[in-house]
Structure 1
Amino acid sequence: MVAPGLRAQERLRPKRQGTGPGQPGSRQVSTPFDCVVIGVGGFGSAALDHVASRGASVLGIERFGIAHDRGSSHGHTRVIRQAYFEHADYVPLLLDAYRLWDQLAADSDQLLIDRCGLLLAGHPDGPAVSGTRQAAALHGLDLQDVSTQRLATDFPGFDIPDNFEAVWEEAGGYLFVEDAVAAHIQRAVGHGAVLQTGETVIEWTSRGDAIEVVTDRGRYQAGSLIVAPGSWVPGLLPGLPVSWDIVRKPLFWFPATTDQYNRSSGAGVFFLETPGGEFYGFPSLDGETVKVAEHTAGVSVSDPLTVDRGVLSVDLPPLAEFLQSHMPGLATDPTRHTVCLYTRTPDLNFIVDRHPEHSGVAIACGFSGHGFKFTPAIGRILADLALEGRTEHSIEFLSATRPGLLRSD
C-alpha cells in the first residue's frame, strides 16, 4: 500500500513523460472524443475516471498541474461524514460516495479514507446539532449522544460549554485530498483517458450534438462535455446566471502542547458550531500540530488567480479566540498555512445538473466548501448525465434552475 501523504505529483510523474494517448501532459491527441472534461480537480478527476471506465473516449483539460494548490482540492485532508445537517437529501449520495471511496482505495492500493470518528458540538437548537440528528434519524444512521461525563473522559482536549450538546458519528473521518485526486486520475488513465495539463480553456460552444472546446493550445470536438470549473466558474459558465461568492479560506496548523489530539491516541475529526462561527479540524497526524480552520466567514475575491495566499490580519483572530475558548491544548501561533477557495451559491448547496441551455453539457459547481467528500459519487453522476443524458440518483435539489440561485440582472 502506498503511504498517505506521498505527493500526488511524484506518483504520477513517470506517466507524464509519455507522448501517447492516455499519458498526462501529452499533446498528441485525436478528436473527436465522446466526452471532454474541463477542470480536472476533485470533481473533474472523478468524472474523467467514471467516463473512461465505461469505455468512452475522454479528454481532460486542466489549467494547472495534477492535484495542484490553486483551487479547492488541496490542503492534505478533508472531513467526511454521513449524518449531513446541511440537507438530508445529501445522505444517499454520501452512502454511495463511501462505497466508491473504498473501491478507489482498493484499486489504487492506498489509504485514502480514515474513519476515525467525528465529534460535533453546538447549541442543541442550532442547525449543526439538530440537523445532524434529523438526518441520522431519517436515514437510520449510527449517531451517539455524548454526555458531559463522556466529553470529560474521552475528549479532554475540548472545552465544551454547558449549554452545548455533542454527538459522535463513528463513520466520520477524513480523506487524503491530493492523493484522492491523483488516484482518480491514475485509474482514468488506466482506462485510456487522455489528460492535458498546463492548458487553459478559452471558450466552449455547443450546437446541437456538436461541442467544441477551444484552448490556448488547440481545438477539440466532442459529443458531450463536463464542466467542473471550481472557482473559475464565472468565466467557464458565463451563461449561468447564478450569484457566485468566491471566498478565500485559510487553513492553519497549530502546535499542540498535549497528545490528546493525536490520531495515535484515538482522536477524531471535530466540528463546533459556536456563536463566533463554525470551526472544524483534524486529529494530529504528525504528533506535533493540529489542522484547524473556520468554515464560516472568509474574504470574497474577484479573481482566483490573484488571491492573496499569505496570512491576512483578519485570518487569525477568530481562530485564536476559538482555540483559547474550546481547545486550550493548542498554541495560537500557527506553524504553517495554506489557502483554499470556496465557491458559494446563495443557498450553499451544490449545482449538479445538465446545463439549462445545452443538453449535452453536464455541470458541477458551487460546492460551497463542503463538497469534496462527494467527489466519486458526483463523478459517476456527471458520467451519467454526459453519456446517457440522465441519472438514477436523486439530484433535483441540486438543480441549476432551482429558486434562489439566479441573478436578477
Structure 2
Amino acid sequence: MNPNTTADPLDDESRGVLDDTASVATAGIGALDGTAQISVVLPPADEDDLAGDDAVIDGELEEDAVPAASLRPSAVRPEVEARSAAADAAAPRPARPEVPAAKRIGDLSESARESADLLTPDRLLDPGRRSRPEPEGTWSHLVYRLTGRRLNLGDGRRARERKALTARIGAPIPGGARFVPVLSRKGGVGKTTVTALLGMALADARDDRVIAVDANPDRGTLADRVARPQEARSVRDLVRRRGEIDGYRDMSALVARDATRLDVLASDADPRAAEAFSDSDYREVADIAAHYYSLVLTDTGTGIVHSVMSATLDLADQIVVVSGLSVDEARLASETLTWLETNGYAAQARDAVVVLNQSTPGTPLVRVGELETHFATRGRRVVRMPYDPQIAAGGTIVFAGLQPGTRAAARELAAVLVEGLRAEAAA
C-alpha cells in the first residue's frame, strides 16, 4: 500500500477484512476504527429446506422467517450481536394458538389434503390485531367514548344476557322443517297470543324462515294480531293454488309478514264457506310449508278433538300447552296433557312446554308458584307470560313495542323450544 495514498474509509479491503469464501468453516475477522468485524458465510441449502425455527432479520429474532438459501453474508458487530441474543433469550415468547399445521400439497395424500373449512379466523387472523366491537351498556360505552375508543371493557351484564339468549334462540336445528302446535282445551286463555309472540321471538332472532299457520277450523284471529296487507290470503287459498306454488316468491304472496319477518297464513275468513278447514287441508298446507320454512307453528283453535287436531299432532315435533291463571283454566290445561298421554302422544306430552299466560292486570288470585310446581311434573318446562297492556287491547301486536318483561318471556319461550327441538334431533 502506498503510504501517500489517502485510504477510502468505506473500503473494507483496506481495513483487513478477509474476502468472503464459500467454505462453511471460514470466517474473516478484521478491525475497523478499533471495532472488530466478522464476516460469516452459511453453507448453501436446498430451496425447500427451512433454516430451523429462528433467523436474525434486522437485528431481531423472528420465528419461521426465511429459508437458509435466502440469507446473505453480513457484517455484525460482536457486542451488538451479543446484546441482541441476550435480550431475545430473556424475553418471553408469546403463546401461539393451536392451529392445523400446513403442509405442501405434494406431501399430502388425497385423503389428507386440506379443505377450505380449515381456513378459520383462529388460524389466519392475528389475535393481537383483531378489533373488538363497540361495547353495549351504559357504563362500558361511556368509558369507551371518553377514552377515544381505546379502552373497551366489553358489553354490560344486560347486553351479555340478551346476546346469550339470542344465541340460544338462533342455534341451528338439524333436519328438515319442524312442526310446533300450540294447544288448549279452553278458549280465551291466550293461545293465539302465545302463538304470535313465540313466532315473533323466533323470527326476530333466527336466520331461517318461520311461519305461523292459523288452523282454526272456524274463524281464527291469528292474522289479526300480526301486521297484514289488505288482501291477505288464507289457508283455503293455499290449498286451492297448491299447483301454482313454484317457489318462495309464490308462497310469500299468500302470507302476511310483520316487522320481525314472521310469516302468517290466515284462517278462512269467508262466512259463506260451506266446509270448515279439515284434516286433509292441513296436511296439504303442512306439506307445502315444509318446503319453504324451517319452523311451522300452528294455532290449533279452540278444543282438542276437532277435525284438524289429528294431523296437527301426528306431525308435531314439540307441543306448547297454554294455561290461564285461574283454577278451571289450569285444570283444563292439565287435562290436555292427560288426553295426550292416553291417546298415543305420551312422549310429546312429557316434552311439552307449558305457558302460564296472565291476561289480566294485577296480582293473580291463584298461587302461580303452585301452578309451576304442578306443571313441572307434567311437562318439560314451564314459562310465565306476564300481562301486557298492548296485548290486552286486542289489536295488532308490535313486538318492539311490548314491555321488556313480555319480550323477555317470549324470547325465553323461543329458546326453550329451540333447545327441545335440538335435543330431539340429537336423540
Which bin holds the TM-score, normalised by the shorter protein? under 0.3
Bigger CA radius of gyration: 2
- The alignment's TM-score, normalised by the length of structure 1, stands at 0.23
- The alignment's TM-score, normalised by the length of structure 2, stands at 0.22
Name the structure with the higher helix share.
2
Name the structure with the higher strand share.
1
